Amino acid sequence: MAAAAARNLAALDAETLALLGAGPDMAPVAVCGEWETFKENVRPLKRGRNVGLLNQALKAHTDPAQRAALLAERGRMIQAIEEYQGEDPLQPWVDCIKWVQESFPAGGEFSGLVVIYEQCVRAFWHDERYKDDLRYLKVWLEYAGNCSDAEVIFRFLESNQIGEGHAVFYIRYALLMESKNKLKKADEIFNLGIARKAKPVEKLETTYRAFLRRSTRKKEHEDDTASDDQPVRKFGSDLNRGETRGQHAENSHLLAKPRVKLQRIDVNTPISIYKENPLPSQGLERARSKDRAWNTLGTQADRNKENNMMPARWTSHKIPPKVAARPAVPPARVSSIEVFIDEECAEEPAPPQVPKSPKPSVLKLRQATSKNLKKETELLKENPLRNFPLSSLR
């Protein structure tokens, strides 16, 4: 295997070796190995990728030791964020994000990238130093690209005046509105960025002109579609008598309208009332009811036969005395049910208490497991501002 890799490496030119990260003093690497196997799982980056880190990351798919080494390195990068004491606390976050993007090319919940994005933007949203920092804005934009609805994030940035001096903010915001078919809102965002002279303004104006061309073509296409739905009358086509008569004969049943005979209404004629003929059974019941008619009302005793009980004085009936209250009897003691405890669980010591840290977000990220990262990532994708204080959502 190593000899074959060395022969393949020797057959490559100097430029290809430089792209692969191999030099005369470096150990030979296998050509087209892990890359050919896992290249569908690699997410492209605009700035490109480090070939050395990419090879190590792809080997982690099949090598558990390499995978454990990547997780340990990620823990060290997060620890460096917590221990940083310099004047630019955003830079360790940026370095960690770039490293995770390179070392976990497939992304996903296992990388923890979405959680790192959220921890970073939440740590500095109120810091005036980074309101107009392009690095901080790019972290926000990358975080928005991983959420189901990025409009919430752009409204948050707009209300908190984050990234107002950069053209990329208005471009991404307007393109998102265009994708939702909110062309009027997208046009307002472009004009707002040009009025504020967001840098680089030339790129913003170029993107705006392209947006206007797309909008014009879309409107023309909608007009053409609407005109195609209307019936079109064609002129200049002559028909002979036979075809004309045949068409008239075929369409005669469609064109013929039933004639309605109008009746003259006399105002002086009285209105006739419709009377329904009674059914034979109803006539018999009426006849029987007439036969059973009351001839007499009966005597008073007959009418008051329900009230046979004679009234009497209530004092003649004595209410039985109340029984003296008995002393409270203590409830019988129920025998407690013995809870089964597994011997293995009984022998395990209690989990150690985690000490509180002044940076709970970083501590949570360091101690998070793959299961917790997956759950948190799914929640953040649905609600990207779920961990922000209510005072920030103005």
- Residue pLDDT, tens place only, 229-254: 555 555 555 545 555 455 555 544 44
pLDDT digits (tens, 9 = 90+) for 371-381: 788 888 889 99
Distance CA 199, CA 193 (A): 9
Residue 37, pLDDT above cutoff 80: no
Q: Which residue has the higher pLDDT, 57 or 178?
A: 178
Q: Look at phi and psi of residue 28 and say left if phi exceeds 0, alpha if psi is from -120 to 50, else beta.
A: beta
pLDDT digits (tens, 9 = 90+) for 73-89: 888 888 899 899 999 99
pLDDT digits (tens, 9 = 90+) for 259-271: 555 556 666 777 7
| pLDDT above 70: percentage of residues in the chain | 55
pLDDT digits (tens, 9 = 90+) for 43-65: 667 667 766 677 777 776 667 88
pLDDT for 30 equals 42
Say if pTM beats, i.e. exceeds, 0.75: no
Range with top average pLDDT, 8-22, 144-158, 288-302, 367-381: 144-158
pLDDT for 358 equals 40
Per-residue H/E/C for the chain: CHHHHHHHHHCCCHHHHHHHCCCCCCCCCCCCCHHHHHHHHCCCCCCCCCHHHHHHHHHCCCCHHHHHHHHHHHHHHHHHHHHCCCCCCHHHHHHHHHHHHHHCCCCCCCCCHHHHHHHHHHHHCCCHHHCCCHHHHHHHHHHHHCCCCCHHHHHHHHHCCCCCCEHHHHHHHHHHHHHCCCHHHHHHHHHHHHHCCCECHHHHHHHHHHHHHHHHHHHHHHHHHHHHHCCCCCCCCCCCHHHHHHHHHHHHHHHCCCCCCCCCCCCCCCCCCCCCCCCHHHHHHHHHHHHCCCCCCCCHHHHCCCCCCCCCCHHHCCCCCCCCCCCCCCCCCCCCCCCCCCHHHHHCCCCCCCCCCCCHHHHHHHHCCHHHHHHHHHHHHHCCCCCCCHHHCC
203 — pLDDT class (breaks 50, 70, 90): very high
Per-residue H/E/C for 104-156: CCCCCCCCCHHHHHHHHHHHHCCCHHHCCCHHHHHHHHHHHHCCCCCHHHHHH
